[in-house]
Amino acid sequence: MGISHSQWTLGIKKPHEWIEAYTPFILKGLENKFKNPMLFLFSEDDIIDQAAPNTKIAAELLDFIISLNCERSVHLFTKEEGASSHCQMGGLSYAHATIFQWLDQTLSDKKIQVKPDAKDKNAFIQIFKKYVGEISEKKAQELLKIANLI
C-alpha cells in the first residue's frame, strides 16, 4: 500500500524512485529553523510499524524531536484507548480533542492544565522500550525532560 500511495502522490513509477522523490522532504539538518511550538502525535501501532523493519527510524525520530530548539509537546495514543492506528483511525474524536485542546492552549498562551502523572510518562517510555529497545527507552526519557506530555 505504501508504494502504491507514493506512486499516486509523487508520480513515481517504480519503488526504487521513492528515495529520490522523498529527499526534498527530509528535515534533518533544519532543526534550528523551527521556532514555533510543535505537537508530535505518536500512535502505538505506528511505533510498532516503524520498529519492525528498522528500529533506527524510531530512535532517529526521537533524536530529531530532542534536537529542536522550540517548545515541544508529545502525545501517545495507545491500543488501550482505541486510537493507536495510523492517524488515530478508530479514535478520531479523541485525537481531534487532543489536537484542538493543544491548539487552543498554544495559540491563546494558556498553560497546559492537565499534567500527566508518572503512569502516563512511564507508559510513553515503556512503549518505546517494548517495541524499539533500550536505546529508545533512554531517548524517550530524555525527551520527556524537555517536552510537554499531553
pLDDT, tens digit, for every residue of 69-122? 999 999 998 888 887 777 788 788 889 999 999 999 999 977 766 667 888 999
- Domain regions of the chain by residue span: 1-29, 34-149
Residues in CB range of 87: below 8 A, 6 or more apart: 43, 95
CB 105 within 8 A of CB 111: yes
The string over 139-150, giving b where at least 16 C-beta atoms fall within 10 Å of a residue's C-beta and e elsewhere, is bbbebbeebbbb
4-41 tens-digit pLDDT: 877 888 888 888 888 888 888 888 888 999 999 999 99
- The average pLDDT across 131-135 equals 88
CA count, 13 A, side-chain hemisphere, 137: 9
d(CA 140, CA 126): 9
How high is the pLDDT of residue 98?
A: 92
39-73 tens-digit pLDDT: 999 988 888 776 555 677 888 889 999 999 999 99
- Whole-Å CA distances, 79 to 113, 123, 127: 24, 12, 11
